[in-house]
């Protein structure tokens, strides 16, 4: 083997080692940073009831983005805690916000501000509400909530005779559900039916967080694998160069 060839291989080896180290370092930052970011932004919960079927089933593990109650919009699925509702964590869907007028049903559909709302998340064949909802004006700073499984959901309709017409304060909100983590069903579908009465929320940064974690894992594994792979390839090249050349 010539000196020039040896120096070239040595230079390539050093460069490869440097790049491998950088890949591992960057991968660790992305991987650990992604997990840390997710822990700060999201809170996991386990759903104990059927009131949000089929969107969320009993025992599903959900990820709720920690947000201010003032950021909640129509169509959001939220986690909240209201003393008058039992002082426990509950998951429901926001169908109307402060200043809205909500009622059911007109031609089988929920209405918000006299506009019919398409609700594709309801169980197939189920009406928007099994019991008629009288016209309710939602007080400012409060939310009117329904379960997706309307037949058995103890939601705002079960508290209509209470103060504030069964609505919940925005201050009671603990988070907005972005995804079902287990079993892995992915991100919740956007409630586009509410676009007719105003804007809907945009998804949280969960996809970006997952991308960072996956990219970090790939970089760490790829960088760590470089050394053994490069060493094996180097040995093969060395063997080929030292093999005697036959004379014909």
43-101 residue pLDDT tens: 999 999 999 999 999 999 999 999 999 999 999 999 999 998 988 999 999 999 999 99
Write the CA distances from 12 to 5, 20, 23, 26, 109, integer angstroms: 11, 12, 16, 21, 68
pLDDT digits (tens, 9 = 90+) for 169-224: 999 999 999 999 999 999 999 999 999 999 999 999 999 999 999 999 999 998 88
Active site residue 92: yes
**72 half-sphere exposure, CB direction, 13 A CA radius:** 35
pLDDT at 247: 45
The pLDDT value given to residue 248:
44
Identify the pLDDT of residue 161: 92
Give the mean model confidence (pLDDT) for residues 10-15.
Answer: 60
Residue 8 has pLDDT above 60, yes or no: no
What pLDDT, on the 0 to 100 scale, is given for residue 49?
93
Which has the minimum average pLDDT: 15-29, 56-70, 225-239?
225-239
For 109: left if phi > 0, alpha if psi spans -120 to 50, otherwise beta; the answer is beta
Collapsed DSSP state (helix, strand, coil) of residue 99: coil
Instruction: Give 143-174 pLDDT, tens digit per residue.
Output: 999 999 998 899 999 999 998 999 999 999 99
10: pLDDT strictly greater than 60 = no
**What confidence score (pLDDT) does residue 244 get?**
55
pTM of the full structure? 0.84
pLDDT at 243: 52
Catalytic residue among 5, 20, 51, 109: 51
Annotated catalytic residue 84: no
The Cα angle at residue 197 between residues 67 and 110, in degrees rounded to 5: 100
Of 114 and 16, more confident? 114
Contact 222, 194 (CB under 8 A): no
Catalytic annotation, pick one of 2, 5, 92, 189? 92
């Amino acid at each position: 083997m010539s000196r020039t060839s040896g120096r070239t291989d040595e230079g390539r080896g050093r460069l490869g080692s440097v790049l491998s180290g950088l890949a591992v370092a960057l991968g660790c930052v992305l991987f650990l940073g992604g997990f840390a970011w997710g822990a700060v932004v999201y809170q996991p919960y386990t759903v104990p009831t059927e009131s949000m079927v089929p969107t969320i089933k009993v025992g599903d593990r959900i990820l709720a983005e920690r947000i201010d109650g003032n950021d909640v919009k129509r169509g959001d699925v939220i986690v909240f805690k209201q003393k008058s509702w039992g002082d426990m964590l509950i998951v429901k869907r926001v169908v109307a916000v402060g200043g809205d007028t909500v009622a059911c049903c007109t031609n089988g559909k929920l209405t918000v501000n006299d506009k019919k709302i398409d609700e594709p998340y309801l169980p197939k064949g189920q009406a928007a509400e099994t019991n008629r909802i009288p016209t309710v004006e939602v007080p400012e700073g409060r939310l009117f909530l329904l379960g997706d499984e309307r037949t058995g959901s103890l939601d705002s309709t079960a508290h209509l005779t209470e103060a504030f017409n069964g609505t919940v304060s925005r201050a009671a909100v603990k988070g907005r559900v972005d995804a079902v983590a287990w079993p892995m069903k992915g991100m919740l579908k956007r409630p586009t039916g509410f676009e007719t009465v105003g804007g809907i929320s945009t998804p949280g940064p969960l996809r970006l967080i997952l991308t960072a974690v996956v990219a970090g894992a790939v970089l760490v594994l790829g960088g760590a694998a470089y050394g053994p792979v490069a060493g094996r390839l180097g040995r093969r090249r060395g063997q080929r160069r030292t093999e005697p050349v036959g004379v014909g």
